[in-house]
Structure 1
Amino acid sequence: MSSPSLMLKAPFDGIVVLLADVPDPAFAEGILGEGIALDPLGDTLHAPCDGEVVQCARAKHAVTLRTDMGIEVLLHLGLDTVNLDGQGIELLVEVGSRVESGAPLCRFDADRLARGATALITPLIVTDGAGWQVRPLTALASGSRVRCGEPLLRLEAAEAAPSATTDATGSAQERALTLALGGGLHARPAARLRAIAQRHEVTLTVVAEENEADSASLSALMNLGLAHGSSLTLMARGAHAELALDEAEALLTTPEAEEHGQEAPSESLPTAGEGQLPGLVASPGLALGPLVPYRAALPEVPVDGEGDAVERLRLRQALVRVGESLQASMHRAERDGQAAEAEIFAAHQAWLEDPDLQAAAGVRLAAGRSAGHAWREALDAEADRLLATGNALLMGRVADLRDLQCRVMAELADPQGKPGLDLPAGAIVIAEDLTPSELVTIASRQPAGLCLAAGGTTSHVAILARARGIPCLVAMGERVLRMASSDRAVLDAEQGLLEPTPDAERLAAVEANIRDNARRAAEEREAAQAPATTVDGRDVEVGANVGSAAEARLAAEQGADGIGLMRSEFLFLERRSAPDEEDQRCEYQAAVEALGGKPVIIRTLDIGADKQLPYLMLPQVPNPALGVRGVRLWQRHPDLLDSQLRALLRVEPLETLRIMVPMVSDASELHWVRGRMQSLAKEQGLTILPRLGAMIEVPSAALCAASLAEEADFLSIGTNDLTQYVLAMDREDPHLAARADVLHPGVLHLIQATVTGAAGKCPVGVCGAAAGDPLAALVLVALGVDELSVEPARIPAIKAAIRRLDARTLADELPALLRLADAMAVREHLAAWQQASQDTTTTNLERMPS
């Protein structure tokens, strides 16, 4: 009697792509199952076999069929098509539909998908084929063409295989040992145990006292509560039990290295006294208020479901999608050499597949809960169990569990739903890190300050905090996340310290300082609209760094002499498609009008492999900071540049508009952009062009400032990137952030070279974070820069500091500063000079006759 079989047929005319060649690891590595892929030549996806439609993706890009033999087949139209949210796809079936082989499942606009997706390659995957062998037809080869309905794969019933989970005798092998992991049996080693069991095809159990846990369950392993020094027994069954025990014993008895990013190194942070926690100053200020932990609101999902079968399928599909995302993230991290990050993704994936968690969710599904709410309740219960252990490391893993909870719920949530935020005004907010959109949402609740475990001083969040005048510390390490709640804490974002439980004397002193600061700030705001002129008569423009027209209006209110940097990338981020020309024009026009005739510098899109756009996914590269970004991107995607330039050229009046190009290495790159602008201006019949400038962010641009100044109408120094490239220190790395200081003599030499090279040819400004640094700003003026551009909230204070500066006297100190060893020495020298200058001024005032 022949074995039962099933033939899967081509869902459309197309070119064969072997699964291993699909440019997506979730498919190429067989994570979702075996199968094949086609690059379509048609516009309709057809059923490859008879069956029932058991799943249609919300974004319409994927359909799953189940045959009468219980085999599930997934058809995934294109790669990364989920980001299109159904645009260009018309579903012709729904869940529950019975279809015959060849029946149309959906129609699609191939051109539209090709513009928005990574590729049109469509995998056909057997996702649930237990007991079946998938056999590609021998005539098929990568690159061959097939017609719709032609056979692609044959599924044949597999012969029963001998069990691989027991050894020859069927007895268990045991090994007693003492746990040497400093953090105990937490998520990462638990995930490794699970991987060992899978790799050696054994059943691996951990026994501790009267409790035991199967390695297949991450939560069961962690709930054993095993700490450093705990005694345990490993039990393994299977043909390779001895090998598995050797590997598991080596894992559990070898002290692990310090967890990546657990704490920022002390040498990069200010010295903290008893009862204080240090951090890097991302936005200066002094704050007093209750400590409140922030956790992103969970996506909104219905409480009640539509039946166990429907909701169970929805949860399964959501888990698959999140698993795909985690697997892809893990592979990217491995490729980039980020081993610790890859392990975190692997641990999250192990948790996702944890049978105990899935069973817990299943109980709630059977009780009538929706898929999203069942998952929420299951992970809430697991988080409560972890917190109840009292183990600091296990308690710290609750954040990982919450992240996984949110990921899966987001797959099941209404995309139009907007979760709320429960945060009192005047709070000092504690968080692991924040996205720019989260910061904007939190800022609307008027927090007193921010304390972040991660992040850098030049991140987008730091930029937004400075723009709003919110005191902010970053790179504080995980300890800040474990701080006990406090009704009145002190955030000193001048010295870089958080004091959770200050005494009454300290509270009184801080309250007095806050009142003095408020009085001084009020005086500075009153004078903010006046020019900033140094004691020795130099006029210095003080502009604003903004990310939107709304911030431009705020800058005008704060006394900005213009916009020194409008970051246009905020228009492009966190959206599904690029803004069209009219959307851009409206935003740029509003910014120009907000300044009422003062100059406005708009930087063209500064995006690259370090800052990705969901609709312009660039290939991962070993070092994104040295990859295709800024002006280099325009030569790869000139259509994006042309769209932005057309929008800019429609702004009125063009006389006040300045266009600035990021990441310029030499004059030829700026010359190319000017040519594009002139061509587009000619098409629009324009005779007046905006001024065109270049950012000085890389050493070659600073060293070639003389030739760049011949081509540019102005230069603007981006000190954040310039410092990063000069010192070879990633500006986002909290371990290096404090040392990546613009006042390092090497960076100052290049700023001086820029000013000297441009002398007599074009003005030079500074738009990096250094312009708002009270000490660095004074040095920049003494070096000869013509304009400083700072966050709007810093404008009054920087103008006031310039008015107190004798630039000529400080310029006399520059040779001595440039000979010093490092940035710390420069800061100490400047502080001493500043104190001496203040003492001299006070003495002279005292000697004046009354």
Structure 2
Amino acid sequence: MPTPSLTLQAPCNGVLLPLHAVPDPVFAGLALGEGVALDPLGDTLHAPCDGEVVQCARTRHAVTLRTAEGVELLLHLGLDTVELDGEGIELVVTTGDRVAAGQPLCRFAPDLLARRAKALITPLVVTEPAGHRIEPVERPSGQRVAQGDALLTLTQTQQHASPAVADGPTRSCELVLALAAGLHARPAARLRAIAREHSVSLTVASVDGEASADSLSALMNLGVVEGTSLTLTARGERAEAALDAAQRLLTTPEAAEPAPAPQASLAEAADGQYPGLVASTGLAIGPLVAYTPALPRVPRDGEGQSVEAPRLTRALETVGDALDAAYRRARAAGQEAEAEIFAAHQAWLEDPDLRRAADDRLAAGRSAGQAWREALDAEAERLSGSGNPLLAGRVADLRDLQRRVMAEFAEAEASVPEVPAGAIVLAEDLTPSELVALAEARPAGLCLAAGGTTSHVAILARARGIPCLVAMGHCIGELDGERAVLDAEAGLLEPAPSAARLAEVEAAIAERAERAARERAAAHEPAVTRDGREIEVGANIGSADEARLAAEAGADGIGLMRSEFLFLERSAAPSEADQRGEYQAAVDALGGKPVIIRTLDIGADKQLPYLRLPQAPNPALGLRGSRLWESHPELLDAQLRALLGVTAPERLRIMVPMIGDAGELARVRERLERLAEGLGLTRLPALGAMIEVPSAALCARRLAAEADFLSIGTNDLTQYTLAMDREDPGLAARADVLHPAVLTLIHTTVEGAAGRCPVGVCGAAAGDDLAAPLLAALGVDELSVEPARVPAIKAALRRLDVAALAGTIPELLVLDDAAAVRERLAGWFAAQSTITTTTHERMPS
């Protein structure tokens, strides 16, 4: 008996485009589902198959059909046409109509839409495959097709089952929709993703009806607009977390999605040179070594789906738990790049389509490990052949998950190729975990045949300072050389460089290494500027282990220990004894130097699974830092008691985040003294406040009279001053600490504290090449940076004439924006470098 199939026809005359080429991240990223797109050459959209109209967008730009087999299809006329509110579009069907293939669905005014919308490109997306495999008809991209031509074939592969109803508690919340375009395709897709990520059943209800997040058509068919009151209901063990995410989505006005960064072009290569895209800059010389790790060996055949499916579930849960723990450790340590990668891997791991693909193979008799291998092989092949560089760049992530899960079923330990220190590694691609393991061997550089500059491996290579080229092509697998040159600045690999070229690169590497060695050797000495001012350089850490690294790096103390790492890695709050032990270890590691420990800073982008904070329209403006005292005093009292139990209190300093005024800090001091009295203590640690909100900076004079020290958190101060979310990638380039408004608040803080208490900076700006010297010139007493940056920052301060730079501050504060400040500063440093060089040249020998 033949397998049932369904053919989808072109809904109009047009030019064919793959879905990944659509200039909209929701469609291109397949968030709504697989499909194709057409650039219309007519004025009418027709039904691509027989079916029932189950949704017509209020703004008439989108129609959803459901076939007799349960397949749901979305036809989305143009991009951002939702904002036209139906202008120029006429529907000729309505919800509930049954249509035949080729029947008109809507007519539109092409010229009007072309002028007013982002694009006329029209995606045809299978939003609910209902157990069907989607296969495009072989047609080249850019080909003209006629209305009625076959575009997609859907073949039934399994019996479609209704989504399971989640078990667990039921939670509800009410909100007012803040999306200007209403609940259209993008937010509907995100709601469905939230429900799936949290394993809950999620419904949205308005006065006109109710819809499950499992059905995009039902969500969009609610027809809700901005200002509509909605009730969200979630059922499942993670119902509260799902509601939080859904509420943030629906109450935060939509911003334009940032476009993916274009791939750079390959450098022009001469004979004997092999070009690649620069993923991480640097120079390297070393032998070329091929790296081809084998996958773990797993049984091919299984013991039946009833046995193998639970095994796969357990393995996925184990790997998921490991990824979650790694994510929390990275966040606690401030390693945001790594944390984002672990989070992305968790999302892949929970992808229902991958699990369904593996289940299909279990049903065919494969073992759990082999089923997972084959499912991810197929997905990796699909991404590699997509033509989309961003999707292709994620193949390494899939391979990483493939290896992790297969390792849970391994019959024997997979062999790992040995890589000598100083080698230039050649590989088809690397997974993030492979790169982390390779980094321990200290390779000189990396050359990858595949990958992209936006891949997670590229991010990790940059974070570790390993020169890396990607997208070099399969030719590199045949290369060898004992003294190859990797120029990850020009984007070239030279397997057999000339003697002159080797000498040139060796000299450049030696000069850089000598400079770094000098900086490390002097790192334990004070940072005294050219005009005689000493500035402390501390370290930002997340654990006692990092405190030891900071001490080895030459830090003058700890400017910020993020205490939340202890809380993030647990299912319940840590005991006082656990906290005290970690704090004591950090203090001991610094051998008498001061250690500033920040009290629990939770809220906004950092949440605890066991601490339920009240819902807020904008969590960044809600219960954070010292404000937690009002709702969770017992949590912070326990932390203060643990801090008071640390021996050598003269070396310990307690810092309270998110202080808005002197009164807030006075209440913390009063509580600290009361707890100390109860413990019979008379010697208390110093108490300081973070300057993270404009009110604290503007009231610095009064706050400095109450505090023993102040520390400026430039990340949040920039966010709150410029009203730019620090977590929004679209605003990252503009949320710059060197904006004149932020610099003015820092200047105000330093002036207000003058003669009253010292001022430090523990935000990212302290490690910025341009910002750090300027902060010193503004009068900051201490800069706290990541441990690895301590030697370089101290060296930069020793080269600085603080008084000369301070003389430019009045003109910097009146510039238009951060870009202008950066340009002016760069020019000043270039001029100073020229003056210094000329002076040295004129000095007698």
Cα gap change, 1:174 to 1:740, in 2 (>3 Å): closer
Question: Aligned partners of 2:569 and 2:31: how far apart in 1?
Answer: 35
Is the contact between residue 369 and residue 409 of structure 2 (CA under 8 Å) also seen in structure 1?
no
Counterpart of 1:180 in 2: which secondary structure? strand
- 1:229 deviates by 3.4
**What 5-or-longer segments of structure 2 have no aligned partner?**
22-26, 37-53, 55-62, 74-100, 102-125, 157-216, 218-254, 269-274, 321-342
Question: Aligned partners of 2:659 and 2:289: how far apart in 1?
Answer: 43
- 1:700 deviates by 2.0
Q: Which residue of the other structure, out of 774, 777, 788, is the alignment partner of 2:772? A: 777
Counterpart of 1:263 in 2: which secondary structure? coil
- 1:654 deviates by 0.3
- 1:263 deviates by 2.1
* Matching of residue 522 in structure 1 with residue 517 in structure 2: yes
What are the equivalent positions in structure 2 for 1:746-761 lying under 5 Å apart?
Answer: 746-761=741-756
Question: Aligned partners of 2:474 and 2:260: how far apart in 1?
Answer: 18
Question: Aligned partners of 1:397 and 1:490: how far apart in 2?
Answer: 24
State the AA in 2 paired with 1:351.
D
- 1:718 deviates by 1.5
Cα gap change, 1:812 to 1:379, in 2 (>3 Å): closer
Question: Aligned partners of 1:179 and 1:235: how far apart in 2?
Answer: 16
Cα gap change, 1:842 to 1:359, in 2 (>3 Å): closer
Other-structure match for 1:499: 491
Cα gap change, 1:837 to 1:187, in 2 (>3 Å): closer
Other-structure match for 1:656: 651
Question: Aligned partners of 1:228 and 1:783: how far apart in 2?
Answer: 58
Question: Aligned partners of 1:423 and 1:732: how far apart in 2?
Answer: 39
Question: Aligned partners of 1:300 and 1:680: how far apart in 2?
Answer: 58
Question: Aligned partners of 2:6 and 2:262: how far apart in 1?
Answer: 49
Cα gap change, 1:575 to 1:348, in 2 (>3 Å): closer
* Matching of residue 820 in structure 1 with residue 824 in structure 2: no
Q: Which residue of the other structure, out of 471, 495, 514, is the alignment partner of 2:465? A: 471
- 1:217 deviates by 5.5
Counterpart of 2:770 in 1: which secondary structure? helix
Deviations 1:804-829 (A, max 9, x none): 22211111111122222223332332
Cα gap change, 1:489 to 1:316, in 2 (>3 Å): same
Question: Aligned partners of 2:349 and 2:16: how far apart in 1?
Answer: 19
Cα gap change, 1:453 to 1:848, in 2 (>3 Å): closer
Other-structure match for 1:363: 364
Q: Which residue of the other structure, out of 293, 310, 335, is the alignment partner of 2:307? A: 310
Deviations 1:55-101 (A, max 9, x none): xxxxxxxxxxxxxxxxxxxxxxxxxxxxxxxxxxxxxxxxxxxxxxx
Counterpart of 1:364 in 2: which secondary structure? coil
What are the equivalent positions in structure 2 for 1:376-387 lying under 5 Å apart?
Answer: 376-384=373-381, 387=384
- 1:738 deviates by 3.4
Cα gap change, 1:731 to 1:674, in 2 (>3 Å): same
Other-structure match for 2:33: 191
Question: Aligned partners of 2:725 and 2:490: how far apart in 1?
Answer: 25
Is the contact between residue 549 and residue 591 of structure 1 (CA under 8 Å) also seen in structure 2?
yes
Counterpart of 2:635 in 1: which secondary structure? helix
- 1:650 deviates by 1.2
Other-structure match for 2:661: 666
Deviations 1:724-747 (A, max 9, x none): 332333434444433333222222
Cα gap change, 1:314 to 1:261, in 2 (>3 Å): farther
Deviations 1:680-709 (A, max 9, x none): 222211111111111112222212212221
Q: Which residue of the other structure, out of 372, 382, 387, is the alignment partner of 1:375? A: 372
Deviations 1:303-347 (A, max 9, x none): 775554322455589999999xxxxxxxxxxxxxxxxx99x9899
Cα gap change, 1:315 to 1:805, in 2 (>3 Å): closer
Deviations 1:786-805 (A, max 9, x none): 11112222222222222222
- 1:753 deviates by 0.8
**RMSD value over aligned CA atoms?**
5.4
Question: Aligned partners of 1:787 and 1:658: how far apart in 2?
Answer: 14
Other-structure match for 1:800: 795
Counterpart of 2:30 in 1: which secondary structure? helix
State the AA in 1 paired with 2:491.
E
Question: Aligned partners of 2:442 and 2:596: how far apart in 1?
Answer: 29
Question: Aligned partners of 2:600 and 2:707: how far apart in 1?
Answer: 18
Other-structure match for 1:180: 17
Question: Aligned partners of 1:635 and 1:289: how far apart in 2?
Answer: 59
State the AA in 2 paired with 1:378.
A
% identical equivalent positions: 55
* Matching of residue 601 in structure 1 with residue 596 in structure 2: yes
Question: Aligned partners of 1:734 and 1:618: how far apart in 2?
Answer: 25
Q: Which residue of the other structure, out of 705, 709, 715, is the alignment partner of 2:710? A: 715
**What 5-or-longer segments of structure 1 have no aligned partner?**
1-164, 208-212, 239-246, 248-257, 324-340
State the AA in 1 paired with 2:800.
L
Q: How many residues matched? A: 612
* Matching of residue 632 in structure 1 with residue 627 in structure 2: yes
Other-structure match for 1:264: 261
What are the equivalent positions in structure 2 for 1:153-232 lying under 5 Å apart?
Answer: 179-181=16-18, 183=20, 188=30, 191=33, 199-202=66-69, 215-216=129-130, 220-221=134-135, 227-229=141-143, 232=149
Question: Aligned partners of 2:140 and 2:302: how far apart in 1?
Answer: 37
Cα gap change, 1:265 to 1:235, in 2 (>3 Å): closer
Deviations 1:618-643 (A, max 9, x none): 57755443343333334333232222
State the AA in 2 paired with 1:793.
A
State the AA in 2 paired with 1:572.
F
Counterpart of 1:540 in 2: which secondary structure? strand
* Matching of residue 548 in structure 1 with residue 531 in structure 2: no
Deviations 1:705-728 (A, max 9, x none): 122212211111112222233233
Question: Aligned partners of 1:578 and 1:223: how far apart in 2?
Answer: 56
State the AA in 1 paired with 2:353.
W
Is the contact between residue 545 and residue 791 of structure 1 (CA under 8 Å) also seen in structure 2?
yes
Is the contact between residue 134 and residue 153 of structure 2 (CA under 8 Å) also seen in structure 1?
no
State the AA in 2 paired with 1:229.
Q
- 1:586 deviates by 1.8
Q: Which residue of the other structure, out of 350, 353, 363, is the alignment partner of 1:351? A: 353
Question: Aligned partners of 1:677 and 1:433: how far apart in 2?
Answer: 51
State the AA in 2 paired with 1:536.
D
- 1:498 deviates by 7.6
Is the contact between residue 183 and residue 393 of structure 1 (CA under 8 Å) also seen in structure 2?
no
Counterpart of 1:663 in 2: which secondary structure? coil
Deviations 1:183-241 (A, max 9, x none): 3697728826699988554466999xxxxx99445754369687453755268999xxx
Cα gap change, 1:237 to 1:788, in 2 (>3 Å): closer
State the AA in 1 paired with 2:784.
S
Cα gap change, 1:626 to 1:224, in 2 (>3 Å): farther
State the TM-score, normalized to the length of structure 1.
0.59
Is the contact between residue 191 and residue 347 of structure 1 (CA under 8 Å) also seen in structure 2?
no
Is the contact between residue 265 and residue 735 of structure 1 (CA under 8 Å) also seen in structure 2?
no
State the AA in 2 paired with 1:499.
G
Deviations 1:390-418 (A, max 9, x none): 786774574686588689x49x9599x99
Cα gap change, 1:190 to 1:557, in 2 (>3 Å): closer
Is the contact between residue 190 and residue 218 of structure 1 (CA under 8 Å) also seen in structure 2?
no
State the AA in 2 paired with 1:309.
S
Farther off after superposition, 556-565 or 345-354: 345-354
Counterpart of 2:135 in 1: which secondary structure? helix
Deviations 1:270-322 (A, max 9, x none): x997667577x9xx976667999999999998877555432245558999999
